[in-house]
Amino acid sequence: MKKVILLLCSIMLSAGIAFADGCFIAKENGKVLQSEGDPEKRYAPMSTFKITLSLIGFDSGILIDEMHPVWPFKEGYVDWREVWKQDQTPKSWMKESCVWYSQVLTKQLGMENFKKYVTKFDYGNKDLSGDKGQNNGLTNAWLSSSLQISSAEQVAFLQKMLAGKLPVKLHAVTMTKNILFVEELKNGWKFYGKTGKGSLLNAFGVKNPDLYHGWFIGWIEKGDRRIIFSNHIEDDKKEEIGASQRAKLDAKEKMTKIIDRIEGNK
């Protein structure tokens, strides 16, 4: 399956990455290096919210380090992907984007503490009510539900996190950074980030099973330079490759071009 995805991804790159609408922002020290689309339009954060949950988890002591705690899969947990049906650590949770690990974390945290953190972080619209009439905000608010955030807000949140301006311990930021590392790009630039994918909602808040939006947010850094970005795409037709993977590929391509530009095409 992975080989098929890689093949499709290579085809996408050669043909151009497909999506109907999108928003991309890249900033360095608050200065906009590139901006496309509407940065104020809000969407559900989906799995990009794992960055927030990681900070909360490590700050509260529920999470310990990259490899602890190890939580076992149990019947009844969300198991959309085969890889989720096994023990997970904070590192594998982030890498495999495991939904149930997030939900175990928030259940241990409790709604009162959850609300306090999201309010202190000033995260998006701060709405943790969840789906209407479902009373599921503690486990689902960020999943095509009540919690919404814009591209501009995603970048601002990452800026605060990396500048040490969020009310969390340094350990929480350090551990979160560690588990967000993706790969090294050209010329020694390190690439960090998190995907997110969810169903698009119609005017009545009903999910469309065939149309998705995708996020990839993060930053690149080298030495004392750091460029923070948010990439969001929105589909208007069914696509073969998931929206989050296309958002990630598109972000990597854009950030590589920015590296070329600022380093004079070295």
Exposed / middle / buried, residue 169 (Cβ in 10 Å: 0-12, 13-18, 19+): middle
Known catalytic residue at 60:
no
What values do phi and psi take at 74, rounded to 5? -130, 150
C-alpha span between 61 and 42 (Å, rounded)? 31
CA distances to 4, 11, 69, 80 from 127, rounded to whole Å, are 38, 39, 28, 26
Instruction: Say if CB 27 and CB 160 are below 8 A apart.
Output: no
Alpha carbon 176 to chain centroid distance? 12
What three-state secondary structure class fits 19?
coil
Which residue out of 47, 146, 230, 244 is catalytically annotated?
47
Helices (H), 122-182: 137-140, 151-162, 170-180
Say what angle helices 151-162 and 49-60 make with each other, to 10 degrees.
30
Q: What are the structure tokens assigned to 155, written together?
A: 């970048």
- Specify the residue for token string 């970048």: 155
Active site residues: 47
